[in-house]
Amino acid sequence: MRRQLNRRRTETLDYVQAMLGQLRIMAEAERCDMLAYLIEMAYVEVGDILRGERPLRVGEERDRAAGMAFQPPGKVKFQ
């Protein structure tokens, strides 16, 4: 069971990385430099996760380092 979950996660992350690569190409073609950069950072992040160099979740570590619990944003009210 665990092996199936790991395989599915790897397949999903491979797919996400492939899509990010395509999005980066599209952003560069439209000369959206900052967007292309941010997409490339996400692409690199997926690669790090796949190689085991980065944890899947960082929110809990970040919250502990800040000394506070993460609170998701509430509903945004537009005026």
- Going residue by residue through the chain (79 aa), what tens digit of pLDDT does each one get? 778 888 999 999 999 999 999 999 999 999 999 999 999 999 999 999 999 988 878 766 555 555 656 566 667 666 6
Residue of 2, 9, 5, 6 lying closest to 46 (CA atoms)? 9
What is d(CA 70, CA 60) in angstroms, rounded to the nearest whole number? 8
Give the residue extent of every domain in the chain: 2-52
Q: What angle is formed at CA 15 by the lines to CA 13 and CA 20, rounded to 5 degrees?
A: 95
pTM value is: 0.68
